[in-house]
Each structure stands twice: as structure tokens, then as C-alpha cells.
């Protein structure tokens, strides 16, 4: 498996840094979209997926010190940018996998894919839709410190980041990522109030994977997300929180494999 990091200029003046896992030999692949904790949260999962496909993991502009023009300030902007990226790379039947806000971006991509670049959508503990009931609301992570966020995000205490051990530089980088996250989150921060009502128009096979012990976005919120899609499927992951691709990567890979075998291939 080979890896490569490069920056690609997109139409409209936006540049995006991507890490490639494997090689583009078939004109298709997997697009991995990270959440607010940054691209490192998808690196291990991307490497594992690259045993089966060419994988691209972008860094959302503004994260990890990458440039973000002022006009790029919404999830919709990122969705359009990543569709442009697939155009530039000339990829089709792409499986887009997004965690947290990455799942929100993936949902918006599916609604905007007027050139047929996508083949399937996988959301992993995604945010983006408005909760019907108060008890199913997503936690506003802007209101809690990083240590408490770690407790809400990971079921396995041993995997929670030890923020007390962070250097000043690491703390500054994490804080900058959170500021960028707040910009993309917009007025309602973690959702678009109209998104849920639009998702029935997405006919692509869609899998919603959910860590059952997620303290950020609860399990029933995930079930509601899956039901909102025209062709939605749901796969809960036990003993995992908001980042099951880190806590239970084998279980997440198994859920994706079952989805491909039982839903995508028969279609």
C-alpha cells in the first residue's frame, strides 16, 4: 500500500490537501471525510480500506493549519468542493464515508451529485439533521472542554486522548480546529433544519453506522438519520462512541462489507 500527500487546486480558487492510500487504477475509490477532530481520526480506517480500494482522505480547508478562504464557510461549500475534487480526479461510483460533520458533508454531496460521481454513502455517527425530540439532540461541543468531549466521544476510557499531556502547540492546533469547526457548523452549528426533509430524494444505497455509546449524538438520532434516506440502512456498533472507526474498526469494516455484499452488489 502506497501513500501520497498532495494539494489540488479546485475550480473557484479553493485548494484542498489530500492523502491518497493506494493507487487510482480503476477510476473509482473511497472518499473519507473526517469530523471535527481532524483527518487523523480517519487515517487508520483509510489504510484498512485501502486493502480493498483506492482511498482519498482530504483535510477540510482550515483544519490542521491548511488555508481556508473566507468565502468557504459552510458544509454546503465543502460538499461542492469535494464533488469538484471527484471531477478533477475523474472518479465514479465512489463510496463516500463521513464521520460526524464528515457525514453531514457526505449527505449534502449526495443531494448535489448531478454528475453521478457517487455510488454509495456511509455515515458514521454523523451530525447534520435536526433532532425531532429534545433527548435526541446533538451535544453542542462548543460549550464543553476537550477533556469532557473525550469522555463523551469514547466508550473505551483507554482510548480517550490525554489532553493534559498535550504540548502548547498541540493545544493551539486543537483549538484552531475547533474554531474552524464552528465556522463550518453555521448558525445552528450541528445541523441544517431542512436537511432531514430533503434526504428522501437520495436514492443511493446509504448505510448509517452508529457507535451505541455515543455521548455526542445519541443512538436514536442515528436511527432517525437512516430512516430519512430513500434507501437507508442502519448498523449499530456495540462498545463504541462517536468515533467507532477508531474504537471498533473491525466491526465498522464488517458493517461496510455486509452493506456492499447485501445491498450494493445485488442492486
- Which pLDDT tens digit goes with each residue over 2-19? 899 999 999 988 999 999
What's the domain count of the chain?
A: 1
Sign of the four-CA dihedral 131, 57, 154, 259: positive
Q: Are 211 and 155 in contact (CB under 8 A)?
A: yes
Nearest-angstrom CA–CA distance, 203 and 231 = 6
CB atoms within 10 A of CB 261: 10
Q: Are 26 and 167 in contact (CB under 8 A)?
A: no
Residue 267 pLDDT:
65
Q: Which residues contact 213 (CB under 8 A, 6 or more apart)?
A: 155, 239, 240, 241
**β-strand pairing of 3-9 with 15-21:** antiparallel
CATH of the domain at 186: 3.40.50.1820
pLDDT digits (tens, 9 = 90+) for 105-137: 999 999 999 999 999 999 999 999 999 888 889
- 32, HSE (Cβ side, Cα atoms, 13 Å): 26
Residue with cell 498532495: 6
Query: Three-state DSSP class for 173?
Result: helix
Per-residue burial over 219-230, b = 16 or more CB atoms within 10 Å of its CB, e = otherwise: bebbbbbbebbe
Angle between helical axes of 101-112 and 75-89 (0-180°, round to 10)? 60
Domain that holds residue 110: 3-264
Nearest-angstrom CA–CA distance, 160 and 151 = 7
CB atoms within 10 A of CB 151: 13
pLDDT at 64 over 70: yes
Average pLDDT over residues 146-158: 92
Residue 126 pLDDT:
98
pLDDT at 147 over 90: no
Indicate whether this model's pTM tops 0.75: yes
Q: Which of 219, 239, 216, 238 shows the shortest CA–CA distance to 157?
A: 239
Amino acid at each position: 500500500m502506497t501513500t501520497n500527500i498532495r494539494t489540488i487546486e479546485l475550480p473557484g480558487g479553493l485548494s484542498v490537501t489530500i492523502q491518497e492510500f493506494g493507487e487510482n487504477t480503476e477510476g473509482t475509490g473511497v472518499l473519507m471525510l473526517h469530523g471535527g477532530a481532524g483527518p487523523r481520526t480517519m487515517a487508520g480506517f483509510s489504510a484498512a480500506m485501502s486493502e480493498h480500494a483506492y482511498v482519498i482522505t482530504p483535510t477540510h480547508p482550515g483544519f490542521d493549519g491548511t488555508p481556508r478562504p473566507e468565502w468557504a464557510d459552510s458544509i454546503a461549500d465543502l460538499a461542492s468542493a469535494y464533488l469538484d475534487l471527484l471531477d478533477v480526479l475523474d472518479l465514479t461510483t465512489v463510496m463516500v464515508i463521513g464521520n460526524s460533520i464528515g457525514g453531514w458533508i457526505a449527505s449534502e454531496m449526495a443531494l448535489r451529485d448531478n454528475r453521478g460521481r457517487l455510488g454509495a454513502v456511509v455515515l458514521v455517527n454523523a451530525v447534520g439533521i435536526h433532532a425531532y425530540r429534545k433527548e435526541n439532540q446533538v451535544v453542542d461541543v462548543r460549550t464543553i472542554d476537550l477533556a469532557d468531549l473525550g469522555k463523551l466521544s469514547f466508550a473505551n476510557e483507554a482510548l480517550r486522548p490525554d489532553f493534559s499531556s498535550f504540548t502548547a502547540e498541540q493545544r493551539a492546533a486543537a483549538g484552531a480546529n475547533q474554531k474552524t469547526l464552528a465556522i463550518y457548523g453555521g448558525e445552528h452549528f450541528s445541523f441544517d433544519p431542512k436537511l432531514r426533509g430533503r434526504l428522501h430524494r437520495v436514492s443511493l444505497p446509504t448505510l448509517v453506522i452508529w457507535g451505541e455509546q455515543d455521548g455526542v449524538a445519541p443512538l436514536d438520532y442515528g436511527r432517525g438519520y437512516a430512516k430519512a434516506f430513500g434507501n437507508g440502512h442502519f448498523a449499530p456498533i456495540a462498545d463504541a462512541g462517536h468515533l467507532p472507526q477508531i474504537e471498533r474498526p473491525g466491526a465498522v469494516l464488517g458493517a461496510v462489507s455486509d452493506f456492499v455484499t447485501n445491498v450494493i452488489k445485488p442492486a
